[in-house]
Amino acid sequence: MGAELSRHVKRNLVAYIALLPMAIVVIFAYLGTMAWSVRLSFSSSKLLPRYDFVGADQYLTLFDTPRWLTSLGNLAVIAFFFLLICFLLGTLLAIFIDQNVRAESLFRTVFLYPYAMSFVVAGLIWQWVLNPDLGIQHTMHGFGFTDFVLDWVVNSEMVLYAVILATVWHGAGLVMALILAGLRGVDTEIWRATRIDGIPAWRVYVSIVLPMLRPMIITSLVLLSISIVKMYDVVVAMTNGGPGTASEVPAKFIMDNLFERANIGLATAASTVMLVTVLLVMAPVIYSQYFRKSGRAS
């Protein structure tokens, strides 16, 4: 047994060496840093890491911190509306573009270009368009509609919807591109058959075509979900968490506590909460998406 193993390693020795950088990255940069972060979340670290043990103190403090609770609530609202609107809008765009329209590639280009731009740019642009003293509201006042109000970015009740607007603008094209690619792969026989049966087109989409596009739908939802959890740049550029704490998000809470408030214990506790949440949600998705059909070498 041992001789066989060593023969196997010898035959493939170079492959083992070639995979060393990846092994180092996985073990140290991914797993090691995760473990380190989790360890620090159980310590009283402030400005510098300390390796004492204070139990769940940081977690108790964390869930007693209004700013963190606001961040979590905001993320939930953003996630719900962003996923819903992005998905519906992207799917509708794909279906409409698939109706044999003229200038199809022009429409595709227009709907996807925001996805090529950075979140910082998306945040800045929409902050200007929605800025009451500069953008749409100001222009409407200039036209004489002095009662017109569009003050989302400075209104703590509405600021989250401004962020959602900017992120939908950024991400809807992604859904459109993926769903459109899926629609192009649908068998044309389905359309002939359903037309003969007199089934309305929308029924065909909802009951037959969209269920066939499950892989594309899952892919787009996974990609959108990752961008929600990582959401930081767009908020920093657009509102910097304000007005007050009305548009704070967890990623920004962690960054502020790491680098400005010198509260490493609390920040790592918050990042551990995010880590556990992501792993719980993502592990089954990753397993079913990537490992059902595993690679040839295994």
Q: Which of residues 234-253 bind other proteins (CB under 8 A)?
A: 236-237, 240, 250-251
Question: In the structure encoding, which two tokens stand for residue 121, read together?
Answer: 């740019």
User: Footprint of other proteins on residues 41-80 (CB under 8 A)?
Assistant: 49
Instruction: Point out which span in 57-65, 74-82, 96-104, 148-156 binds other proteins (CB under 8 A).
Output: 96-104
Sequence-separated (6 or more) residues with CB below 8 Å from residue 119: 167, 170, 231, 232, 233, 234, 237
In angstroms, the CA 155 to CA 253 distance is: 20
- Other C-beta atoms within 10 Å of 261: how many? 14
The one segment of 31-39, 51-59, 67-75, 76-84 that binds other proteins by CB under 8 A? 31-39
As given in the structure block, the two tokens for residue 263 are 């509260």
| Interface with other proteins, residue 294, by CB under 8 A | yes
Query: Which residue among 119, 152, 161, 205 contacts other proteins (CB under 8 A)?
Result: 119
Beta carbon nearer to other proteins, 1 or 14: 14
| Residue 85 near other proteins by CB under 8 A | no
Single residue of 1, 3, 10, 99 touching other proteins by CB under 8 A: 99
With both helix axes pointing from N to C terminus, report the angle between 33-40 and 264-290 in degrees, rounded to the nearest 10: 140
Contact between 289 and other proteins per CB under 8 A = yes
Which residue type, as a one-letter code, is found at position 253? F
Interface size with other proteins, residues (CB under 8 A): 112
178 lines the binding site for other proteins (CB under 8 A): yes
Q: Is 196 in the site for other proteins (CB under 8 A)?
A: no
Q: Is 88 in the site for other proteins (CB under 8 A)?
A: no
Determine which residue in the list 51, 80, 145, 291 makes contact with other proteins, applying CB under 8 A.
291
Q: Which is nearer to other proteins, 54 or 120 (CB)?
A: 120
- Shortest distance, CB of residue 80 to other proteins, whole angstroms? 19
Report helix, strand and coil shares of the chain as percent, to nearest 5.
70, 0, 30
For residue 97, the Cα-to-chain-centroid distance in whole angstroms is 25
Q: How far is the CB of 41 from other proteins (least distance, A)?
A: 10
Which one, 70 or 271, has the nearer CB to other proteins? Answer: 271
Residue 165: CB atoms within 10 A of its CB come to 20
Q: How far is the CB of 61 from other proteins (least distance, A)?
A: 18
Least distance from other proteins to the Cβ atom of residue 155, Å: 19
**Cα 166 off chain centre by:** 13
Cα–Cα distances (Å) from 185 to 98, 99, 210, 212, in that order, read: 11, 14, 12, 10
Interaction between residue 29 and other proteins (CB under 8 A): yes
Side chain identity at residue 288, one-letter code:
S
- Please report how close the Cβ of residue 231 comes to other proteins at its closest, in angstroms: 9
Q: What is the biggest distance separating any 2 CA atoms in the chain, rounded to whole angstroms?
A: 88
